Chain A
Amino acid sequence: MDPSALIPTPDTLPVSWGWFELLLIITLFLHIILMNVMLGTGIIALVNHFRGGPDSEPLTREIAGKLPFAIAFTVNFGVAPLLFVQVLYGHFFYTSSVLMANFWLFVIAFLVSGYYMAYIYDYKYDALQGARVPVLGYTVFALVAIAFFMTNNFTLAQVPETWTRYFDSPTGFLLNLGDPILFPRLLHMITAAIAVGGMSIALYYELKRRRGDEEAARWVRHGCSWFGYATIANFGFGFWFYGMLPEQVRNSSTLAGGMIGVLLLAGVILAALSIIYSLRGKILPAMYTVLPTILIMILIRDLVRAAYLRPYFSLSDLEVVSQHSPMVVFLIIFLGGLLLNYWMFKLAWQVIGNREVRS
């Protein structure tokens, strides 16, 4: 069966695909950072429970207090790129979702249960004692399971040639386990999350240190170490991932392949610099170099997907039936929302640390 015959006909767009691509990149960038902080700090806290003993309690207690926020905002900022990716690639994404429907729906179950466990970990931190590991362990497990299913879905969406398996198994139990990029990609993402999680710890304590917290320096180093060594490890996973990409994707003689190569080189250089900075304890320069690295990796991710789908589909194939006014209204409200959120955040920041004004 010709796999291209299976690809659903996409719906029309209200504005050019470029707008959605831009919105997708921006919102995915924010989501990935938040996701990295959420998953990375969760894993680091879990490891500290195993290894750190009572010494690590100040760190794990802080992480416990912040994890529910991280989950909330990760999900929230995941909604937007999920929306825009459906606009551009919905006909691939929905198909792969149906093929693995049972697992895909489990994402929600893991999310709700992991989220509640994170709250328990936070609110009952002291009472939990020895139960902290299983409670946080479950949250981390749930988040990693979500990552696994996400990776399955997004990789499955870009290999229509494997979709014919549906006819033997239409009950939504297919995964993309046969794809050689699945595990390197998953490990690359998780390791990146650990690295960025370490960086977020370092940054948080750096701010504390600058406010005069003497204990903070230790955790800055701790975070930097996590960042530095995880990023070094991620070179291995990254090249493994790259090596597993099919020739059509890596082919540097094509525009996409060439761009992937150039961006990858830039990403490698920036990542190497960030490692050096972090291992020297210079967290802000490390952050300045790693943020563009993340953006570059997101761009590469997008180019890789485009290269995978090239035989079947190009974004320019999408038909546009123009209506711009909803976008204008969205952008106005988006800007208004940013201002409102900024104002609220500023207001909240001002009162954090103040003593209670109501007794």
Chain B
Amino acid sequence: MNYPVWQLDGAGGGLLIALMAIFHVYVAHFAVGGGLFLVMTEMKGIRENNQAIIDFVRRHTKFFLLLTMVAGGMTGVGIWFTISLLNPAATSKLIHLFVFAWGIEWVFFTAEILSLFIYYYTFGRMDNRNHVIIGWIYFGCAWLSLFVINGIIDFMLTPGAWLQNNNFWSALFNPTFWPALFFRSFLAFMLAGLYGFLTAVNLKDVVLRVRMVRYCALWLIAPFLLFLGSAWWYRAALPPELQVLIFERMPEIKPYLDAFIILGPMLMLGGLIMAIRMPQSITRPIAAVMLVLGLLYMGSFEFIREAGRRPYIIRDHMYSTSILKKDMELIQQNGFLQEAKWVSSREVTRDNMMTAGRELFNNLCLPCHSVGGPLNDIRKVTGNYTPRGLEAKIGGIHNFSPYMPPFAGSGLERKALAYYIAYGLNNRRDRMDDVAIREIGDEEIPAFNGESDKYVLLAWSDMGMKSYTDASGSWMILPPGGTINAQLIERGETPDVIVDGVTISYAVDPEFSDPAQQVDFWQNAAALYDREIAPNTGLSGNGLTGVMKPGEEWFTVSLLPVVPYTAERRYMPYPAFTVTAVSSAGEVLAATRVVAPVATEMGCQICHGGHWAVDNRAGLSVETAENILAAHDRISGTNLQGLADNNMPVLCNCCHADSSQDAPGNKEQLNLSAAIHGFHANFLGERGAMYCVMCHPADSGGATRSFRGIHRGLGLNCTYCHGEIEDHAISLLKAEHEQGKERAAVLLGNIRPANFESVDAVVPRRPWVNQPDCLDCHEGFQAPEVDTTFNRWTAGEEDLYRNRTDESGRLRCAACHGSPHAVYPAMNPYSPYRDVLQPMQYQGQFYPIGSNMNCKVCHTIDMEYEMHHPNMLREFRNQ
């Protein structure tokens, strides 16, 4: 932000520095180890009085000089040039902090050049003693160059005490200085043998060639154990959190770690093979291949070291984006564009989203990502995301991808960046407008004659907002399973709730009667639940037609296998059932219709890629589902994708308890609700209800719009009752933490409460048990004085709205008021009547049963006593 950014695009993502640095480092280590090789081999030749060996050294010196002095030396300068272009702020810091270290290194560099020239050009012209001294001077200076540079490089990884004391010596002799010095020194000696092969295999004298090749093999192999020891020391010297980061939490490093582990023994094996007497036609290509393997070996190590530093360029001091750690909070507060020097947009507006987004991208993403290039291509890692998903991802990515820095900008800047990446780089064409709802034509409202009918049949779904996840071949979180309840009331001045001697049957509308044709649940049910489940049958054995089970005061049929797809495979999330009460004599006493909402509009694909599976508006695609498994595997170290690939789809509640499905899960894992909300709150915070509806089917422009009760009409949204996702997640995680689950503490550590001073202020709650209570706002059943409730929970399941009864204890609240999220008067997007079938049937109006002084529906006379709950005998308030 202090400097302009070189807009590299395809060549970005560190490609230039990787190419320059890996080559240079490979040659530079040879320049050190090779120096020792030269002088020691020369001494061997002198000691043995063997001119052939000395001639070999002379030839090797020429190769050495041409390689190290020209390609090595110049690419060393090239690294300097390159880093100053890619990260001038960090370069400036390293130059200013280490100016005298660089100066010292330059002195050694000068002596290196002079001594190497002298060494080569005085071969055979200078007496042995002095010539060997010059050789030792060369090696000494080369190693001392390494000594200094090693300090600077490792400072970037482990700045150690410098962070507190700003002392040059603390910076140079940082915590990994010594192990890294030994590590690099032994590596340099090994490389000397590797490079030595190149000259040795070309010797004409067979005896000498075999001898020198074996000598080079010894150089390669002998330091290996010491090298391994120093590698272990190097690792041990890393701060513990860095060890965890590099070796456990960065799967992106794994290929390089694997390469480093595999290539070492391969080189050793190659060294042993080279020691075998073989013709030149074999040794020459082996030598060349081994040199390439050595380059890969070096490259994999450098990648590990560089990646381990992320998201910093100077660990705990400066991020890869050149932003100082100490400035991050200020930038997040004021916005990046306000604080940066080299931007033309100072704020994000509706008109400059693309321009501002590009400037944010240049500054905050380009330092590590290319656009369409071979390294860290931004398109590959963001192509799956819609702008909304990307915006969410950017906000929380640092919590789960520790190599990513926190987003350095405001909420609006995050939006602009996501907009630019999605539309400017990925050319996405996401649907921008609302889903066109296909309304139901003529809604059939059952007949009721208030004068002659003797019974009122009330029916309702347990849940007004219910989801089912398809793609069950991959995983299953919410199986099909709607529950319908019914109460039969015998009308009269003193009505009675009838259960005995009555049968209540139910039947789904014909177009929903064969869900097995629409979803693959039954094909995977056996694998998921370890038992056969007949097609079109729910988990409790119920089909889509049948008889409801009588209880003490009401009838229930649970886990109905209803899905939101019509026979024509159109998305329709509000299937209806006809419910009929029949006397033991077979007389139809009453009939009604009830909606059984079920949605598959979970917007996983917003972030996880893929697409809507059905009708471009709903349904979880296999592609999305697999991406989710991959993410789970990556973050939690599982192998769920492997299981799914082997026809073993994953049932989420096997591990994550879900009391709504009576699934005990694994006691050590977070329950499902805490895990999902706790994880996603890291990404979806600070955006209110807009992001609740990314997963829950209540988007006001979506295909379901299942928040449709009176509270929606009054302008409330999810957060009024359930809180912001941060607070919602904290409440769930705290309850889990109290159960001793450590993962809860990890997730809690990343989430900042939205409406509370601290996490301590949020009251823990269990999902599906501790919920907001209607009476929190409607205190004493009166008009509410507040419109929000959070942190006051129902004590138990029996206190939930869907389970509660009126003050008589006989009528369920939902029987008269409708399902949660669809309480009367509800407005269903598909039909104005679908959610108010019984109010319309019995009262000819949308309001709760009996409201607006409609006591006659059941009582047949007007009532003066508020027996069901106080404040009910009045005109309906919100007409």
Q: Which residues of A contact B (CB under 8 A)?
A: 1, 5-14, 20, 23, 69, 72-73, 75-77, 79-80, 82-84, 86-87, 90-91, 94-95, 97-99, 101, 104-105, 107-108, 111-112, 115-116, 119, 163, 166-167, 170-172, 321, 323, 325-327, 329-330, 333-334, 336-337, 340-341, 344-345, 347-348, 351-352, 354-359
Contact = CB atoms under 8 A, between A and B. Distances in A.
B745 interface: no
B74 A111 contact: yes
A80 B93 contact: no
A330 B104 contact: yes
A14 B77 contact: no
Contacts of A171: 6-9
B107 A337 contact: yes
Contacts of A97: 81, 84-85, 88
Residue among B16, B99, B101, B114 with most chain A CB within 10 A: B99
12 contacts: A6-B342, A12-B96, A13-B96, A91-B92, A97-B84, A99-B4, A101-B85, A111-B77, A326-B169, A344-B134, A347-B130, A355-B125
Interface string B136-170: 01000000000000000000000000000011110
Contacts of A356: 124-125
Contacts of A84: 99
B370 to A, nearest CB: 14
Given A76-B109, A80-B103, A340 B96 contact: no
Interface in B94-132: 95-97, 99-104, 106-111, 113-115, 117-118, 121-122, 124-127, 130
A234 B169 CA distance: 48
B515 to A, nearest CB: 56
B344 interface: yes
B44 interface: no
A327 B137 contact: no
Contact of A75 (B7, B73, B167, B169): B73
B100 A172 contact: no
Contacts of B96: 11-14, 87, 90
Given A111-B77, A334-B107, A354-B125, A170 B92 contact: no
A108 B88 contact: no
A8 B110 contact: no
B99 A83 contact: yes
B106 A83 contact: yes
For the complex, would chain B's binding face be called helix, strand, loop or mixed by DSSP majority? helix
Interface in B1-45: 2-9, 16, 20
A108 B78 contact: yes
Contacts, number: 201
Contact of B85 (A10, A73, A104): A104
B113 A87 contact: no
Contact of B111 (A10, A323, A341): A341
B128 to A, nearest CB: 8
Given A76-B110, A325-B168, A329-B104, A98 B95 contact: no
A326 B168 contact: yes
Contacts of A357: 124-127
B111 A340 contact: yes
A20 B134 CA distance: 32
A12 to B, nearest CB: 7
B104 A104 contact: no
Contact of A347 (B69, B124, B134, B166): B134
A85 B107 CA distance: 17
B70 interface: yes
A116 B70 contact: yes
B516 interface: no
Nearest to A354: B125
B77 A170 contact: no
Given A95-B4, A105-B85, A87 B110 contact: no
Residue among A72, A325, A334, A345 with most chain B CB within 10 A: A72
B75 A112 contact: yes
A357 B100 CA distance: 41
A329 B100 contact: yes
Given A80-B106, A341-B110, 13 more contacts: A6-B341, A8-B2, A14-B97, A20-B99, A76-B109, A79-B106, A83-B103, A94-B3, A112-B74, A112-B75, A329-B100, A357-B124, A358-B51
A1 to B, nearest CB: 7
Contacts of B115: 344
B93 to A, nearest CB: 6
Contacts of B82: 105, 108
Contacts of A336: 107
A340 B107 CA distance: 10
A206 B117 CA distance: 24
Contacts of A1: 344
B588 interface: no
Contacts of A119: 66, 70
Contact of B113 (A76, A333, A347): A76
B205 to A, nearest CB: 17
B122 A351 contact: yes
Interface residues of B, number: 68
Contacts of B791: none
A352 B123 CA distance: 11
B71 interface: yes
Interface string B163-183: 000111100000000000000
A86 B90 CA distance: 12
A289 B121 CA distance: 33
Contact of B6 (A9, A14, A101): A101
Given A327-B100, A330-B104, A345 B114 contact: yes
Contacts of A112: 70-71, 74-75, 78
B110 A75 contact: no
Nearest to A318: B96
B54 interface: yes
Contacts of A98: 3-6, 85, 88
Contacts of B126: 347-348, 351, 357
Nearest to A347: B130
A358 B10 CA distance: 55
Contact of A87 (B99, B134, B167): B99
Nearest to B98: A326
Contacts of A111: 74, 77
B168 A115 contact: no
A44 to B, nearest CB: 23
Contacts of B51: 358-359
A321 B165 CA distance: 12
Contacts of B130: 347
A166 B4 contact: yes
Contacts of B3: 8, 91, 94-95, 98
The 10 closest A-B CB pairs, nearest first, are A94-B88, A337-B107, A326-B100, A108-B78, A11-B96, A330-B100, A170-B7, A356-B124, A8-B2, A101-B6
Contacts of A69: 117
Interface in B61-81: 66, 69-71, 73-75, 77-78, 80-81
Given A1-B344, A104-B81, A111-B77, A72 B106 contact: no
B382 interface: no
Contacts of B341: 5-8
Given A170-B6, A172-B7, A86 B95 contact: yes
A334 B101 CA distance: 11
Given A76-B113, A108-B74, A108-B75, A344 B137 contact: yes
B85 A344 contact: no
Residue among A10, A86, A111, A323 with most chain B CB within 10 A: A86
B100 A86 contact: no
A11 B93 contact: yes
A2 to B, nearest CB: 11
B110 A170 contact: no
Nearest to B103: A330
B70 A348 contact: no
A252 B350 CA distance: 53
B91 interface: yes
Given A105-B81, A354-B125, A9 B344 contact: no
